[in-house]
Structure formats: C-alpha cells, structure tokens
Chain A
Amino acid sequence: MRCGFCLPACPTFRETGIEAESPRGRIALMKAVTDGLMMPDQSFEEQMSHCLGCRACEPACPADVKYGQLLEQTREAIEAHTESHRWWVKPLRHVVFKQLFPHQKRVRLLGGAIRLYQQAGLRKLARSAGVMKLLPVHLSEMEQVLPDASSKGIVQKIGSHHPAKGTKIAKVGMFRGCLMDMLFTETNIKTVELLTEAGFEVVIPDTQACCGALHAHSGEMKDARSLARKNIAAFQAAGVDYIVSNAGGCGASLTEYDHLLHEDEQWREGALWLAKRVVDISHLLIRSGKLAAAQPEGQPIRITYQDSCHLRNVMRSADAPRKLLRDVSGAEFVEMFEADRCCGSAGTYNIVQPEMAGGLLARKMEHANATKAHYLLTSNPGCLLQMKLGAAKHGDGQMQVQHIVDFLHERLVHNSSDKVKEQA
C-alpha cells in the first residue's frame, strides 16, 4: 500500500521534500533491495541511517504498516554486511554497544570517569586548552550540556526496595535505564519517591540490563535479544504488577519485547508478560490519582511539553503527561506547535547525523520559544539533553529544560491525598 498518508508525519520528508526521505520512499527502497531491483549500496545505507526512527509514520498509517520493524530488520541486514561506516562511527559503536551498555557496572564506571573529569577541573582545562575544538562541533556542544555524571546508580544510593505510602495500589518494578541512571540518577530517585507517594510499592531489581533500544535501532539484534532476556528474568523474579519507565525510548523498546523475541520459543511468553506490564511513569501517576502538584503561590508560570517520539508513537501515550501538567495548579500549560515532531535527538542520531538533527532542532526551538514558557518538559533523557542543547543554542536564557519527573517532584504537594479531597 503506497497511499502516502505517512508523508506529512515524517520529519525528514518535511525537512527535504524528497520522496526517498519519506516512509513510503524508504519502504519502497527496502522492497527494491529485497526484490533485487536495487543494490544495497552506500546511498541506500545512508538513507536508512537518515531515518530518525521516530516512528511518527506508524500512528499516521491507516494500513497499520509496522515501519519500525521493517527498519530494524533492514538495519540488521546492513549491519551484517557493511564495511562502510564513517571511520569513527564503527569503533564508537563497538564501544557503545558491545562494551558499554550491556554492562551496567561499566556504565557506572564510565559515569565515575566522566564525573572525575568534570570535577577535577579537567573539563575547564580541556576547554581552555582547546581540546574540545578537536572534536566535531556538535559533539563538543553536546558535552557542554551533559549534566554531572554519577558513578553510583539508584540502587547504590537508595537501595532496591521501597514500600508504598498509605494503602498500596500495586507493586511496580522500576526500569532504571542506563543513561538515566548514569546522568540522571536524581531523576530516578525522584521517580521512586513520586511513585511511593502515589501509593505504589517500588522494587528495582539490580540484575536488570540496558533495554537494548539503541542496539535494536542500529541493527545489533543479537545483543538486543540477549539484553531482553536478562530483563525478563530480572522482572519476573521480582514478581511485579507493572514495570515503570521514565524514559520514553526505553519504555517503548520494552513494550516491543514480544516482537523482538517472537521467534524464541523459550522466551516468547516471558516477553509477552513483560511487554504487557510496561507503563510510563505519567500513566501510573494519573491512574493513582493521588498526587497533586502546585506551583508555589505568587509565581504563576507557563509550561510546555515536548513529546518523546517513542512514548507517543510506540507506547501511544501523549495524553497522560499533558494531563499531569494541566493539573499543576498555579501553572499554565501551553501546547507547543508541533510538539509531536521529533526534536532530532533520536538515540545516537544527533551524533551521527548532525546536519539533519541540527535543522530539526532549530525549528523545534523556534516553536518552543514561541510558547514563552518558563519550563520545557520532556519524558526521555535523549530528548532532555537535546532540548537543553537547543535552549543553550537558540534560547533566550529564560527557559529551563527539565524532566517531567523533576518538575513534578519539586512541586509535589505533600499529604496530597488530603488536598485532593479538600478540592473535591
């Protein structure tokens, strides 16, 4: 089916207007390669890596074409054959995919190393010595918005078991995420606090691994599958009712474990078990209905929200975060034009496709600035970093970029259940 309904939804098509840069075009290319009509040459590979993987084309498609799966299969095939990545991409990917993300401990070690580098004044030294200038511009720009990394993850800091406050609604397993746990440990901790406050018992199985999203999106399927098995085992052992994620990208990839492992007889059922239980933090908070957030009196603020593509297009959750934000008293929620469009972060996309990512970001920030919001909130670490970069590059210095969890936590009204009752 080649109706083209997906075209207007696709950010890369919007940027270029070229059929090959559209979902319909990319599918045609994939099919042409499968049919032997076209060689999987370098331009084909480039086109496949041009795709953000944001999957905005999926909800737009009335025929229910599973574009994400087609893309993953194609990238897997490319990965199996290719020699032609740019010289620095291949080794970088090797380190990232094989050495780093599968091993939570190493991620934390890296966190420690980054932290050391950040604290020991090395950062300053390196910046003044112009070391950063040696890196491609977009990488050094990124470096400047990275928060302080941590060598201790959430479990090291607060332990892995947290009882619910008040009557317990359900038992929730927390998916901590690698980037989240390394760069945003505090956000993870606040996630737990929000959840326990809302009436959920939270456990954080320490044997969980990376979700495998980056691997799967880059065609490293074998690694993605083995990570998935680890996670299934970890959460099944914990016997949880829900698995909560605070990173749209990770959450989405967890919900697709059933597809990832559909050919694996031994793990198929476990994958389905896990996929069915995954929810985003915003959903649980809404479902509990116990939390209330309020902006301290006297300082009315304006907030806006940038969707995480995978939270929206794969987990199909666009309403819950908005509902939470609209309910913050003393704050005005302003919808940003095209909040549903990819910000250009897209996993490692902003690192390997700086031009397209830069274009998308510039446009995104135009719309963000137009809201005149004090806070720009997101639900995914990749988007968070990208938006921080955007605010630093294109902002007027007035807008703060935060994870929705941090924002809500700061404004949490304690004994909120009473408050809610009072209001009711």
Chain B
Amino acid sequence: MLQETVRQQLLAIVGSDFYKDDPQSLVTHSYDGTPMLQALPDGVIYPASTEQVSAIMKVLNTHRIPVIGRGSGTNLCGGTVPVEGGVVMVMHRMNRILEVDLENLVAIVQPGLITKSFIAHVESLGLFYPPDPSSMAISTIGGNIAECSGGLRGLKYGTTKDYVLGLEAVLASGEIIRTGGKLMKDVAGYDLTKLLVGSEGTLAIITEATLKLVPPPKYKKTMLAMYKDLYGAARTVSKIIESRIIPSTLEFLDNATVRVVDDFAKLGLPLDMEAILLIEQDGETEMVERDIARIEEICRSEQAHSVSIAESPEEALKLLTARRSAFTALARLRPTTILEDATVPRSKIAEMVLEINRIARKHQVTICTFGHAGDGNLHPTATTDARDKEEIHRVEAAFAEIFEAAIRLGGTITGEHGVGLVKSPYLEWKVGSAGIEVMQAVKQAFDPHHLLNPGKIFAKQSRKRVVLQHG
C-alpha cells in the first residue's frame, strides 16, 4: 500500500473508480502471460488521457515510486510483473482511434487499443496494418510497440517497428515528448521513435502512436505442406528463401504441436506427420499463383508427404487462427508450459531445429517447436511441471544451451517477445558488456531514478536464472 498522501494525490487525478488497491485488483495485476512469475503491486491506476499520465508520473516521481505500464498483460517475458512493487498503470481506457488519415495512409491511435480491433477497423476502410502477433485478439497497440511484436506476416511485411512513424510519450519526470510524425522520412537527430519501440516500458509511457498503413494485398493463397521428416520441412524453409521467394507467412509446427492444435481447433490434420508448414502468399494474382506453384515444387523436392491448398478464405483463416493458438494449446500436455523465442538467420533454420532436438534429448526434457520459421524465429516450448524442481532445472539448462546455439548460429535470444525479466540474464551474451553499458546510459538519460518498469531488461545478480554458466 502506498502512503495515504500519495494515494490521495492519485485519487484526485483519476477519481475513486480508477485508482485501486483492494486485494482483488492487486492480485489480478500481479502476473502476465509468463508462467511461474508473480509479484503484487501497491496499486493499480487507469488513466484516461496523456495529461493524467503526466500528472500521475509527477506524483510517482516525487515519491520515487515505480510504475509499470500495462496493456493486456499477454507478454511472455515477465514484462509487467511488478517485481519491485509500485503502481501498475493499465492503459485500457485510452483505447481510441484518433484519426485515420486516408491521404497520408497513417492512423493515430491511443495505446490501449486492442490490436485486432484496430486491424479490423483499417481493413473496413480498405487498408492494411500488417503486424499481427498471435495474441492480437487480446494484446494492445501500446504493448505491441513496447515489445516490438512480430507476427505471422512478419517475414514479408516486417514487424511493429516498421509501422511506427511517431510517438507521444511521458517520461519518468512527467514531461511529455513527441517523436517522428506523419512523415515517411525524418532524420532530425537520434531516432527516438525507434528507440522507444521495443523499450518494454523502461524508458517512457507511450500515450499515442502514429502508425503506417499500406494497401491490402489483392489476392492470397494458403497452403499446407506435411512431412514425415522434420529435417525436410526445415530445409524447405531455407530453400524457399534461397529461391528468392518471400511468402507472406511461413510457419513451422512439429508433431506434438500439430496434435494439440488439432485437438483444440478440430481441423482433422493427419497426426502422424513429423512436421507441418503453413504457407501463405499474397499480392497480385499471377505472382501468387507462380510463387505457390514454385513453393509446391520445393516442398515436393524435399519429400513432402502431401501438399494441399486451402479451399476457401474461411478455411485459410481457420488454419492461421489455429496456428495462433499453438502456444496455449501445448498446455494441454503438461501443467507448465515454458515458451522461448530463439531466432536464427533463415538459412540456419534446419540446423537450429536439429540442435533443439539434440539438446532436448540430452537433458531429457520435452520440447515442442513451432514458430515463424520464415523469419528464423522459432519458439521451442518446454512442456513440464513447475512442481518438479529437478525437472525445471533441466529445462533451464536446456534453454541456456538453446540460446547458446542460437547465438553461435548468428542468432539472438529473443526475436519478438522481449527481454523483460526472464531473458535479462542472457542479454549480455547477445549485446556484450559494452552494449549493456550504452543501453544503461540511455536508460539513465530517460529515467534517472529507475522508476519505469524496474528490474526489466537489465539483470541484477540476485535474479539470475539457475543455469547461468556460459558454455
């Protein structure tokens, strides 16, 4: 609980309905989508405007109270768990689309807007916003920006960072800054927009975003290629890219994932396949037909057991939606599901898949793998049981080795889920100690008292994972 005087100041800003510190509110903001993490905040606040955010920040800054920005809490890196207490700031009330500028093809939105509602709205206007994290039915634009989320369309269309043109944000001091704008080109000084994208709530609270829209593709085609041989599927991915075809979606699911997804979505997929590729191409009709034909050839040359084309847009949508449920569906197998986010250059997908399987066998843990194979972003997912401490140790050891392997192959420790709490011990592996120093200096400049989402991105000794030895 905060000091009474601070409470009163916060209540005065938002009113009694929108600052809460009853046990219920605290418990329901003590977790996010990440398994096994929980910490209670001191209060929960729901601002309605940039001015309120600024006023709240001023109060919290004066009293040195941490603040954790929160969209829908779907992140998978412990990004919104209030490990050092403080106030969770829920952005849901700031959920409006302020403007869709049809001349400049940009939209200005508030951060609490649900991603899928935004996509549906722009599509109704005949435009297209490509970033589509699998959580888009729940996640917010603010959360997407703070995590730089990617999605099924990332391969061809890029990720959130490629669509954020400008931001309005509130600093720890309560001051409001604006970066970028409706401009397609802007090199005036450091690119603060790009810096804030992916900053995981540690540099500023985002209160408004200017997003780029593009014309929608005219035509698309979705296909499924099934393999009895895992390696064949992985090699197909590398080969498609090698042949200079960039599909709009190129997803990989291994056998265990196919089984649980099918159980949930009742698709009637064959359950004896080692791997399935879900491939979509969009664009001009001729180009799509040509690419799909060529992709089919590649699949067959890699011994695909069968290749089929979705009969209707509904069927295609059903397949994509089912793929989006993969992570959660894996929870059917064991009580605890831990998903990671290792990414490698696209040519190394086949090697990485083999590495993951080897490492899982070595540590005797079950790891299912699926992911945005087309952009090298794999989600090796351990199905385990948090109550079995010994097994959890083995899982952590396996993941440490998987990250190592990813970095060795020229990859990274996270492709889209962010560092947050859970990856912080590994960040130095990727960026080096000089990299960490520069990042910390940036943090210092934005947030000198370390009030914005403390404990995230930068690891403290005390919160390291069990397995930390490098090598």
Contact = CB atoms under 8 A, between A and B. Distances in A.
Interface of A: 1-5, 7-8, 17-20, 25, 28-29, 32, 37-39, 41, 43-44, 47, 61-64
B135 A37 contact: no
B331 interface: yes
Most-contacted residue by chain B among A47, A61, A62 (CB, 10 A)? A62
Interface string B8-33: 00000000000000111101111111
Interface stretch (B322-330, B413-421, B453-461): B322-330
A78 B30 CA distance: 23
Given A5-B137, A5-B138, A5-B325, A43 B22 contact: yes
B23 A38 contact: yes
B264 A64 contact: yes
A28 B31 contact: yes
B327 A3 contact: yes
A25 B74 CA distance: 13
Please report whether the interface of chain A is mostly helix, strand, loop or mixed according to DSSP.
loop
Contacts of B22: 43
Given A19-B73, A43-B22, A43-B23, A1 B328 contact: yes
Interface residues of B, number: 36
B28 A1 contact: no
Given A43-B22, A64-B264, A5 B328 contact: yes
B35 interface: yes
A64 B325 CA distance: 11
B222 interface: no
Contact of A43 (B24, B30, B35, B261): B24
Contacts of A28: 27-28, 30-31
Contacts, number: 85
A43 B21 CA distance: 12
Contacts of B23: 32, 38-39, 41, 43-44
Interface string B27-61: 11111111100001000000000000000000000
B158 to A, nearest CB: 25
A46 to B, nearest CB: 9
Contacts of A62: 260-261, 264, 325-326, 328-329, 331-332
Nearest to B74: A4
A44 B28 CA distance: 12
A64 B138 contact: no
A47 B337 CA distance: 28
13 contacts: A2-B73, A3-B138, A5-B137, A20-B27, A38-B27, A43-B24, A44-B24, A47-B24, A62-B261, A62-B329, A63-B328, A63-B331, A64-B331
Nearest to B76: A3
B161 interface: no
A17 B40 CA distance: 20
Contacts of B25: 20
B24 A29 contact: yes
Contacts of A47: 24
Contacts of A17: 92-93
Interface in B67-97: 72-74, 90, 92-93
A20 B25 CA distance: 7
Interface string B84-119: 000000101100000000000000000000100000
Contacts of B325: 5, 62
B102 to A, nearest CB: 27
Given A28-B31, A62-B325, A63-B329, A4 B24 contact: no
Contacts of A20: 24-25, 27-28
A38 B27 CA distance: 8
Given A20-B28, A25-B28, A43-B24, A1 B135 contact: no
Contacts of A18: 28
Contacts of A43: 22-24
B28 A7 contact: no
